[in-house]
Structure 1
Amino acid sequence: MSNAMRDAIDGAYIANSIRMLRSHHRGSFLVVEGESDKRFFDWFIDKGACKIVVAYGRDKALDALQRLQTPPLGGVLFVLDADFDILEGRSPPSVSVVFTDTHDLETMLLASPAFEKLLLQVAKEEKVDKFREQHGDLRACLLRCGKELGYLLWLSRKDGLNLKFEGLTLGDFINEKTLLLNPAEMVKAVANHSQRLDLKGEAFLARLTAMHDDAHDPWHVCCGHHLTEILALALRKAWATNDRGKLDGSMVERMLMLAYDEGLFATTQIYASIRTWEALHPPFIVLR
């Protein structure tokens, strides 16, 4: 699907599509934010009982949720990224909305043993061991970088700055060998990338620094797409084997999904929440 087609889809379109699909599908609908979320859940759903609908954005999904209330349509479950809602004290807006355990599905994958499985298959063991000796726990290094980007994204959302993160060259502000991030260079790179040259001053950097709080769970601050891009950078450079030059964040996400099995999924809160929803909304089934 082209970007123009995705942009044309809105909450009304999604809600109307589900109402029309109900005429020949009496089972449940699982609404997810994006194509990568669909690929994740395709493996876990009961495909005879549940159909996945992609909303192409969190706001569009929430709009569709509201539109499906009047008149109410049963059997529709929304699985959405927790995003920054948990940090801001917001719960899911409906009993038919389930949040991810962490910021998003990608952070859930990285927090799981799928991360270690990926490293065993893709990274060079000697380089990983040396890096760990010099810089400490690998996840901690990823989270350290990801938190800086996460706070900047959070500030952008709070202040309506519309900063652009997709397509950033991470090597402009993250050291490829140590994975240490330079906050001032990060702000400069994102401001340039977003054509917001007014955000380069010390005052803006101070506002960003003031957002940091040790009480914030880094798994909720960090955006999964940022972390997989940082991991791809590490796998191309600091932890590289000889054939990883073209590895990017999207490829890393697919590898993590392949390394993530049903047993891991069954231990998560999101799994328990979906099972609870099923129990409260018979006869609708989502998971196999």
Structure 2
Amino acid sequence: MNEYITADRIANSIMQDSSFSGHHLIVEGIKDYKLYRKFMSENIRIKEAWGCEKVKETLSILEARGFDKKVGIIDSDFSKLLDIKFDIKDLFTTDFHDIEVMMIKSTALNTIVDLYCRREKVEKFNQGIEVSQILFDLGRHIGLLKLANKMYGLGLVFKPKELDGNQLKYRQFISESDLSFLGYEAMIQTVINYSRGRSPQLASSDDIKLYYHELSKNNFAEEQLVNGHDLTNIIFILFKKTLKSSNRMLADFNSIEDSLILSYEAYDFVNTKLFKDLLQWSIENHITLFKETVLSVYYGTSKELDKIAN
């Protein structure tokens, strides 16, 4: 299984690939592969490492072996909130918590809303509030719980070990009828129940609530706090249950994530710090990292911005 492939094995496969003379982009998983391959040139071969830590390990192994035809991208996760720095050569991070948040904060969200839902139903539901803001307000709750789990080692588990395993039941703390939050106690109990049998040691319910409330007093940047996997599950509830979309493509949260990837355009990508950092890196290293179509969007956008500024 992919999650059991070691960083050593990934590094070996890259170095032994004599059929390819370009650079290797190492990413976390299949969703990252699908997104970034839209923008990368033919000189770039994308390799999934199946996890953030293995991306970092693979880059470090390759660097130690003197292999320099590599670059890596990982999700920021909570690193910007916790001021965690990655001292790893050729490693870049997303602007926001992860690629899903990056896409949801772009024009891609409105595109998939229009794809799956009738506009009049959306307008009746959101009452003039941006759908993205409704999602972030809901995602903040479980984001705080995940941050508490990371900071204090609460032993909570939020996703299955296997990709096709049973998912957390979001409907137990988010109403399917109106997408309202059913309360932090319902959320915490749902996650505790999900974690039993999956975690070697769980903190007490009282301790979990205590740490959650302590963190909730902070005004964290929402785009760094919320988790994209949570948001795509909430979007699925919104589309399928709250707005009662009958679109046959709407199967589960995976269909939401795939639709976001399809809808995320070069215009959105070139406006990220991630793109600009990668572009600078490619220029300094004389590497053709991006497709010509992507670069033309960027330089065209830059010229338009210059005109506005002047």
TM-score by length of 1: 0.91
Answer yes or no: is 1:258 the counterpart of 2:262: yes
The partner residue of 1:151 within 144, 150, 174 is 144
Provide the C-alpha distance between the structure 1 equivalents of 2:275 and 2:154, rounded to a whole number of angstroms.
Answer: 35
Contact 1:27 1:285 (C-alpha < 8 Å) held by counterparts:
no
Aligned to 1:122: 116
The partner residue of 1:58 within 52, 59, 70 is 52
Aligned to 2:6: 10
Stretch of structure 1 that moved more, 98-107 or 209-218? 209-218
Which structure 2 segments of 5+ residues have no match? 160-166, 292-310
Contact 1:122 1:241 (C-alpha < 8 Å) held by counterparts:
yes
Q: CA RMSD in A?
A: 2.0
Provide the C-alpha distance between the structure 2 equivalents of 1:258 and 1:148, rounded to a whole number of angstroms.
Answer: 28
Aligned to 1:173: 173
Deviations 1:112-168 (A, max 9, x none): 01101111111122221111228x332121111111111222222233344222301
- Cα shift at 1:202: 3.1
Provide the C-alpha distance between the structure 2 equivalents of 1:190 and 1:107, rounded to a whole number of angstroms.
Answer: 22
Aligned to 2:220: 216
Aligned to 1:138: 131
- Rate the CA distance shift 1:133–1:77 in 2: closer, same or farther, 3 A: same
Which structure 1 segments of 5+ residues have no match? none
- Give percent identity, aligned residues only: 25
Provide the C-alpha distance between the structure 2 equivalents of 1:36 and 1:266, rounded to a whole number of angstroms.
Answer: 19
Deviations 1:55-113 (A, max 9, x none): 00001111112211212211211011001101111234234011101111111110001
- Rate the CA distance shift 1:219–1:246 in 2: closer, same or farther, 3 A: same
Stretch of structure 1 that moved more, 180-189 or 245-254? 245-254
Provide the C-alpha distance between the structure 2 equivalents of 1:161 and 1:278, rounded to a whole number of angstroms.
Answer: 41
Provide the C-alpha distance between the structure 2 equivalents of 1:96 and 1:50, rounded to a whole number of angstroms.
Answer: 14
- Rate the CA distance shift 1:200–1:247 in 2: closer, same or farther, 3 A: farther
- Rate the CA distance shift 1:202–1:29 in 2: closer, same or farther, 3 A: same
Answer yes or no: is 1:46 the counterpart of 2:41: yes
Task: Give the residue type in structure 2 aligned to 1:144.
Answer: D
- Rate the CA distance shift 1:204–1:120 in 2: closer, same or farther, 3 A: same
- Cα shift at 1:249: 1.0
Answer yes or no: is 1:201 the counterpart of 2:205: yes
- Residue-pair matches, total: 280
Provide the C-alpha distance between the structure 1 equivalents of 2:49 and 2:179, rounded to a whole number of angstroms.
Answer: 34
TM-score by length of 2: 0.84
Provide the C-alpha distance between the structure 1 equivalents of 2:278 and 2:187, rounded to a whole number of angstroms.
Answer: 38
- Cα shift at 1:265: 1.2
1:202-281 alignment runs, 5 A limit: 202-243=206-247, 247-281=251-285
Aligned to 1:191: 192
Provide the C-alpha distance between the structure 2 equivalents of 1:248 and 1:121, rounded to a whole number of angstroms.
Answer: 15
- Cα shift at 1:178: 2.9
Contact 2:144 2:215 (C-alpha < 8 Å) held by counterparts:
yes
- Cα shift at 1:244: 6.1
Contact 2:116 2:250 (C-alpha < 8 Å) held by counterparts:
no
- Cα shift at 1:200: 5.6
- Cα shift at 1:15: 1.5
Provide the C-alpha distance between the structure 2 equivalents of 1:213 and 1:90, rounded to a whole number of angstroms.
Answer: 21
| SS of the residue 2:92 aligns to | strand
- Cα shift at 1:176: 1.7
- Rate the CA distance shift 1:244–1:140 in 2: closer, same or farther, 3 A: farther
The partner residue of 1:103 within 66, 91, 97 is 97
- Which structure exhibits the higher relative contact order, with contacts defined as CA atoms closer than 8 Å and separated by 6 or more residues? 1
Answer yes or no: is 1:73 the counterpart of 2:67: yes
Provide the C-alpha distance between the structure 2 equivalents of 1:34 and 1:214, rounded to a whole number of angstroms.
Answer: 31
